[in-house]
Structure 1
Amino acid sequence: MKNLFFSMLLLLSFLFFLANHGEAAVPCNTVDAKAAACVGFATGKATKPSAECCTGLHQLAQTVKSVDDKKAICRCLKAAAKSLGIQDKFLSKIPQACNINVGFPVSINTNCETIH
């Protein structure tokens, strides 16, 4: 009985820790879905970011709760940029065009690990 009580106490402590400190970073499938409408502009095929692009990025910005979220979003966007032929000269214009302050330089060359 004493071991069961101790085990339950340990489990509850662990769950409390996870609830307060273990929030997962934003997953790439969420980032990809919210940023998908921006590909046309970021590849140079559209003259400006679409309203859907800006809406998706605003929604994505609202999911940011921590620096880890920012880093995760950055990593996801960089991975997608490589496979989609994103051009830095267009990518870097999206925050201003969509009126979004991301707090770090938007570039395919951004070091996601230095974001704070």
Structure 2
Amino acid sequence: MVTTTTTAKAVVLLAVLWLWLAVRGGAAPSCSSVYNKIVPCVGYMTGKADDPSDGCCSGVKELKDMARSNDDLQAICKCISSAAAGLVGFKRDRAVALPGKCGVHVDFPIGPDVDCSKI
């Protein structure tokens, strides 16, 4: 039999957990959210555009803001590495230059063969 006190404690525990997750920021960014940020950069990273678009640079800045913890950085890195590996015409030099062209410092290299576990 579940008592009112047990139910109340469970509700309080769930509320505290929910608040903790909200403050912490929840789970690491998903690959779909990362991909949405870097899709505007494909033209630049494949050499079809001379410079990154405003949308691309906005996405790079948003990715930087999403990286609140080491777990976030690793998740973002893994998603970008996976996307780069599947990108036909991917140019490493452009990917490496991308954050600087957008005025953003990122804490990991960009490319298909990056060991994201070492971040």
Verify same fold: TM over 0.5. Answer: yes
Q: Distance in 1 between matches of 2:117 and 2:82?
A: 14
Runs (4+) of structure 1 exceeding 4 A deviation are: 1-4
How high is the sequence identity, in percent, across the aligned residues?
Answer: 31
Structure 1 position 72, deviation (Å): 1.2
In the alignment, is residue 87 of structure 1 matched against residue 91 of structure 2? yes
Q: What is the identity, as a one-letter code, of the residue corresponding to 2:111?
A: S
Report what 1:54 is aligned to: 57
Corresponding residue number in structure 2 for 1:77: 80
Q: 2:17 is aligned with what amino acid?
A: F
Match for 2:107 among 103, 106, 111?
A: 103
What is the aligned length?
A: 115
Letter in 2 for 1:38: C
Q: Within 1, Cα distance between the matches of 2:116 and 2:12?
A: 34
Unaligned regions of 5+ residues in structure 1, if any? none
Secondary structure at the residue paired with 2:29?
A: coil
Cα deviations across residues 40-94 of structure 1 (Å, max 9, x unaligned)?
1111222221222111111222222211111111111112112222221221110
Match for 1:44 among 27, 43, 47?
47
The Cα shift of 1:10 comes to 4.1
Structure 1 114/11 Cα, relative in aligned 2: closer, same or farther at 3 Å? farther
Q: Which amino acid counterpart does residue 98 of structure 2 have in structure 1?
A: I
**Cα 1:12/1:114, change in 2 over 3 Å:** farther
Equivalent AA in structure 1 for residue 31 of structure 2? C
Deviation at 1:5, TM superposition (A): 2.2
Q: What RMSD over aligned residues (CA atoms) do the two structures have, in Å?
A: 2.2
The letter for the 2-side match of 1:106 is I
Tell me the CA shift for residue 17 of structure 1: 3.5
Alignment partners' CA distance in 2, 1:72 and 1:15: 27
